[in-house]
């Protein structure tokens, strides 16, 4: 004679009896989705590779271009900046003062501070 069982135990002891093979179509559907995913990941891999290559080419070109430019114009990349003489007409007087100050002290603009003796303070170089 069979005994009554708690519902929880009934499901635990007989869970394999609930098993049921899915239809063959289920695997086919899943396989199609996996194929798509694989194609997508291959595509995104080649896309990222192409993007990285494009960035690298750009960097190389930019570097080469800057080298050519430096050779053509020796002033670029050096500290000597030529300040054009300007006309005081049509000019804001405040702006003119700034330009005048810059012209006057431009020699002091480079290497304004140089290293002093050991344990000493930094000091302004007198030109």
Chain contacts with other proteins (rule: CB under 8 A): 2-8, 10-11, 14-23, 25-27, 29-31, 33-34, 37-38
Q: Is 113 left (phi over 0), alpha (psi -120 to 50) or beta?
A: beta
Based on CB atoms, which residue is closest to other proteins, 4 or 93? 4
Dist CA 48 CA 57 (whole Å): 14
d(CA 65, CA 71): 10
Closest separation in Å from C-beta 8 to other proteins: 6
Cα–Cα distance between 64 and 57 in angstroms, integer?
11
Minimum CB separation from other proteins for residue 24, in Å?
Answer: 11
Residue with smaller CB distance to other proteins, 21 or 83? 21
Smallest gap from residue 2 Cβ to other proteins (A): 4
């Amino acid at each position: 004679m069979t005994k009554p069982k708690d519902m929880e135990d009934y499901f635990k002891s007989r869970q394999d009896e609930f098993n049921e093979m899915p239809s063959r179509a289920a695997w086919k559907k899943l396989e199609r989705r996996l194929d798509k995913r694989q194609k997508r990941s291959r595509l995104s891999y080649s896309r990222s590779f192409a993007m990285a290559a494009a960035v690298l080419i750009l960097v190389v070109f930019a570097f080469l271009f800057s080298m050519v430019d430096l050779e053509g114009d020796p002033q670029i990349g050096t500290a000597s900046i030529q300040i054009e003489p300007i006309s005081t007409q049509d000019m804001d007087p405040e702006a003119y003062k700034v330009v005048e100050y810059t012209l006057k002290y431009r020699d002091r603009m480079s290497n304004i501070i140089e290293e002093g003796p050991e344990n000493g303070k930094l000091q302004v170089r007198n030109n």
